[in-house]
Amino acid sequence: MTTLFGTPDIAIGMKESVSRVRLFDGPLDLSWRHCATTSDFIADLFALRFRSSRNDYMEVRHSIGYLVNELIENAVKFRAPGEIVIEASMDSECFKLKVSNDVDGEDASEFQGLLADITVGDPMDLLIQRIEANAANPDVGGSGLGLLTLMCDYGARLAWIFSAADESDLICVETYASIPISQIHN
């Protein structure tokens, strides 16, 4: 069974020229440092076309880096052992990202519950509500603040597809994101 959350039209269209990076589990284990290093690399790679303007380059690099880092951190934080696959592409209008990883059934259910909450309603209202809730109870995890910040501050459109993984007790999560590039450098 496949379940979709978010904007369905961005969950397709990743067929064009895609750059792919795989983060493998291994003796060093995947950690936060891999998130930052990988997101910096991808941001540098895709921002290169804007190098003629330092401001455009820095703005595009920052936006892509923040998006990629947030989604890779979520994948590292909530994944079952195994690889994380990052696919990225960019055209003149937007930067697109797909992050795939496996999670156990309990984490998938909790994440789907969070997504059911944050994908309905106005993202700015939800962001304010989540900030207030976190301030009142900072020990509560899984707030969705990073995802809501991407939607509100970066104009990100997000979608998630949950489907059965190769192993029967795992769920494959595909996270799709798209941020406008044309607005950043104009």
Ranges of beta strands (E only) in the chain are: 3-6, 19-23, 84-90, 94-104, 157-164, 170-180
Give residue-wise pLDDT tens across range 97-119.
999 999 998 899 999 998 998 88
- Residues facing 104 on adjacent strands: 170
Give residue-wise pLDDT tens across range 41-92.
999 999 999 999 999 999 999 999 999 999 999 998 888 888 899 999 998 8
Q: Please state, rounded to an integer, the average pLDDT across all residues of the chain.
A: 86
* pTM over the 0.85 mark: yes
- What pLDDT, on a 0 to 100 scale, did the predictor assign at position 184? 64
Provide the residue ranges of all domains of the chain, joining segments of one domain with +.
2-180
Reduce the DSSP state of residue 92 to 3 states and report it. Answer: coil
CB atoms within 10 A of CB 89: 19
**Under CATH, which architecture does the 2-180 domain have?**
2-Layer Sandwich (3.30)
Reported as a pLDDT band with limits 50, 70 and 90, residue 120 is: confident
**To which H or E segment does residue 72 belong?**
helix 54-78
Percent over 90 (pLDDT), the chain: 53
- What pLDDT, on a 0 to 100 scale, did the predictor assign at position 14? 54
Comparison of pLDDT for 17 and 142, the residue scoring more: 17
